[in-house]
Structure 1
Amino acid sequence: MPENKGDAAAATTNKAKPKKVNLLDHHSIKNILDESVSEIVTGKGFPEDVRLSNIRLLIGSIIITIALFAQFYNKKFPENRNFLIGCIVLYPFLKLLLIMHTKEKNAILFTHPPADSFYSTGLVVSSKLPRFSDMYTLTIASADPKSISAKPTVEFTKSVTQWFTKDGVLVEGLFWKDVEKLLNDYAREGKKDK
């Protein structure tokens, strides 16, 4: 008997837990769909490109460091006036740089081209789920649209009610089929042009 309980527990932990959301929470629905899209695209051999995220983290760290230096500088106010003026000028400049560098907009994933591909660019995968709407739009575009191997952008718009049960559980098989079909459409678009 104890072996059966252990086997049942092991089988339970090996099964993936269903992805469940509150159907009244717009942000959690979009978040779980976006996470699933990222899993699907990276599972298809497109490695994630984290350079943009790393640059944003670096600029954010510099901004925080400047704010900490301005707050905890050794000297009192009249003596540190020039230093504070420098921090005050530098802080919004870097904040503006951070905002301008954010080309993401609705992008949820940037990828490199697949390792075995010579004639491909990475992808920019973006999504939209407008507030008070059930229509989810997923777009796949080339990460380098000016490249000779860039393919046309493809997208679909469907109701999220097609992918969730009444209890808020994501029916992953249906969603995966739709995303994989969009990836295949993107790959096929490039072949038509050649």
Structure 2
Amino acid sequence: MASSGPRNASNSSTPKKGINLQDPYCIKRVLDDSTSEVILSRGYVENVSLSNLKMGIGIFTCAIALAAQFYPKKFPANASFLVSCIILYPPSFLRQKMLNFSTYLIMNVILQYIILTKEKQHILFTHPFPGSFTSTGLAISSKLPRYSDMYTLRIASCDPKSVSANPPVEITKSVTKWFTKDGVLAEGIFWDDVESLLDDYEKGSRKSK
């Protein structure tokens, strides 16, 4: 296990609470959050466009559900009119439920498409580095397979086809290199590894020339 040497004085004065090392989801969340802190501390600005799109779709779906639930039109009481409604089109309340369900289904399909094709395993997207000539930001992704202690962190371009995109870089290490036996993240060691990986990515354009 890694030693819990603090990265700076503030870390040493703040007691860290250990996590359950038997919980891979918790381990990945801690490492992902720390990775985002490192990247943003280097001056990159998070791009929340995709998150806002997903949130907007969710809000729209909820709005449709509320509209269908509290639609003011009452169910027709006239029998002959009811028969005509059944023949010509579903009753008003059924029509609302069908609209609600179809809208929910469509929005859910769109969300799943975004997750599978755009979000994938990414934990952070950024805008191009402020003041740089590059036109594309970073796409940070990670994975920690089930029943495995090997954590993979990958830094790539948001637009791999861009002429300013650098070759992707990645690192794979056992999580035991970054956590103490008490489940405390050795921030200094992990931060250094992430910063080294980011340095390798930023040097990629120079190496490729």
Secondary structure of 2:52's aligned partner: helix
Aligned partners of 1:180, 1:19: CA distance in 2, in Å? 24
CA RMSD of aligned residues (A): 2.0
Task: Provide closer, same or farther for how the CA distance between residues 158 and 95 of structure 1 changes in structure 2, counting only shifts above 3 A.
Answer: same
Flag the structure with larger Rg. 2
Contact 1:46 1:111 in 2 (8 A): yes
Normalised by the length of structure 1, the TM-score is 0.87
Aligned partners of 1:12, 1:98: CA distance in 2, in Å? 40
- Spell out, residue by residue over 1:23-66, the C-alpha distance to the aligned partner (whole angstroms, 9 max, x if none): 11111110100000000000111100011101100000111111
Aligned partners of 2:135, 2:178: CA distance in 1, in Å? 30
Structure 1 residue runs without a partner (length 5+): 1-10
Q: Does 1:170 align with 2:185?
A: yes
Higher RCO, 1 vs 2 (CA within 8 Å, ≥6 residues apart)? 2
- Spell out, residue by residue over 1:66-109, the C-alpha distance to the aligned partner (whole angstroms, 9 max, x if none): 12222232235533333333333222111111211231111000
Task: Provide closer, same or farther for how the CA distance between residues 27 and 70 of structure 1 changes in structure 2, counting only shifts above 3 A.
Answer: same
- Residue aligning to 2:60: 62
- Residue aligning to 2:112: 99
Contact 2:68 2:99 in 1 (8 A): no
Percent identity of equivalent pairs = 53
For residue 171 of structure 2, the aligned residue among 137, 147, 156 is 156
Normalised by the length of structure 2, the TM-score is 0.81
Contact 2:156 2:169 in 1 (8 A): yes
Structure 2 residue runs without a partner (length 5+): 1-8, 76-90
Deviation for aligned residue 1:120:
5.0
Aligned partners of 1:175, 1:138: CA distance in 2, in Å? 11
Contact 1:19 1:32 in 2 (8 A): no
Aligned partners of 1:88, 1:45: CA distance in 2, in Å? 44
Runs of 4+ with deviation above 6 angstroms: 11-14
Aligned partners of 1:72, 1:168: CA distance in 2, in Å? 50
